[in-house]
């Protein structure tokens, strides 16, 4: 379980981006964070992975307070947290399988990692993950030649190579067409349901959030203004989440 308690973050010289944010997210569920631009969604994900540090509050995962870990323990807990990015963060000049194998680097010795020495078992696992995301025929293709949706699927397979218990996705479908959006969201939902993973996704698309999420967190101006089951998010709740923004409900 992920438990965020009274998290507050103010960037240097900036305004308060998160204010007293508290919620829990469960393994086996898709939790979606929605909210207008600037609401604090990315700040929240980056705090959970400690890519930025918060001013105060607690983030508990795997029975540990992530904010209070030393470097070594933080590295260990980060190896259990996969990240999926809007812009994929792939090495375009490498093939699908090479990118996926990179996902397992955190589990390898430095020398083996630097020399890109992968075992037969690791290569088989990478191929099986590539197959799982429907890219079997593209395993040896350069990522520069893949579509956006295919690249995002490589990103997911790469994060699975890390054996994560939680996946944090920062606007994973923002650059995708409707068909690729469905493929990627179906895969993420399957990871939660079949592998029992905790999947936390930042989204701008309210209709997709309502369709795929078990649990929705609504952020507005750094505050949680909705926290509940997706099927209980009413149009008034959505209006409250997007209050003072240009968002129009469909």
Nearer to ligand ATP, 41 or 102 (CB): 41
What distance in Å separates the CA atoms of residue 237 and residue 241, rounded to the nearest whole number? 6
Nearer to ligand ATP, 26 or 42 (CB): 42
What distance in Å separates the CA atoms of residue 139 and residue 175, rounded to the nearest whole number? 22
Q: How far is the CB of 107 from ligand ATP (least distance, A)?
A: 30
Q: How far is the CB of 163 from ligand ATP (least distance, A)?
A: 27
For the chain, the helix, strand and coil percentages under 3-state DSSP, each to the nearest 5: 40, 25, 35
Backbone angles phi, psi at 75, to 5 degrees: -60, -40
Q: How far is the CB of 170 from ligand ATP (least distance, A)?
A: 8
Nearer to ligand ATP, 15 or 120 (CB): 15
Nearer to ligand ATP, 143 or 217 (CB): 217
Nearer to ligand ATP, 38 or 148 (CB): 38
Query: Contact residues for ligand ATP (CB under 6 A)?
Result: 11, 14-15, 17, 35, 37-43
Contact 77, 66 (CB under 8 A): yes
Q: How far is the CB of 70 from ligand ATP (least distance, A)?
A: 25
Q: How far is the CB of 33 from ligand ATP (least distance, A)?
A: 8
Token pair for residue 230? 């997706």
Contact 134, 107 (CB under 8 A): no
Q: How far is the CB of 25 from ligand ATP (least distance, A)?
A: 17
CA nearest neighbour of 43 among 155, 209, 26, 35: 35
Nearer to ligand ATP, 35 or 218 (CB): 35
Q: Left (φ > 0), alpha (ψ -120 to 50) or beta: where does 49 sit?
A: alpha
Rg (CA), the chain: 18
Token pair 């190579």 is found at 161
């Amino acid at each position: 379980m992920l438990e965020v308690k009274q998290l507050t973050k103010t960037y240097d010289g900036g305004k308060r981006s998160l204010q007293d944010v508290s919620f829990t997210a469960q393994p086996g569920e898709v939790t979606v964070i929605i909210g207008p631009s600037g609401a604090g969604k990315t700040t929240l994900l980056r705090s959970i992975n400690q890519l930025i540090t918060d001013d105060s509050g607690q983030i508990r995962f795997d029975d540990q307070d992530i904010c209070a870990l030393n470097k070594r323990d933080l590295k260990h807990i980060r190896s259990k947290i996969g990240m999926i990015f809007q812009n994929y963060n792939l090495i375009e000049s490498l093939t699908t399988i090479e990118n996926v194998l990179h996902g397992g680097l955190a589990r390898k010795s430095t020398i083996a990692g630097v020399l890109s020495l992968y075992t037969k078992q690791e290569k088989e696992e990478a191929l099986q993950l590539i197959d799982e995301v429907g890219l079997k025929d593209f395993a040896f293709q350069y990522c520069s030649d893949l579509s956006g949706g295919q690249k995002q699927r490589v990103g997911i397979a790469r994060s699975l190579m890390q054996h994560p218990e939680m996946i944090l996705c920062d606007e994973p479908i923002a650059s995708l067409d409707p068909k690729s959006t469905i493929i990627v969201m179906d895969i993420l939902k399957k990871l939660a349901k079949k592998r029992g993973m905790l999947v936390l996704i930042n989204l701008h698309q309210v209709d997709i959030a309502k369709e795929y999420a078990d649990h929705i967190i609504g952020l507005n101006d750094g505050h949680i203004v909705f926290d509940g089951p997706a099927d209980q998010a009413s149009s008034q709740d959505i209006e409250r989440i997007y209050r003072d923004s240009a968002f129009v409900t469909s």
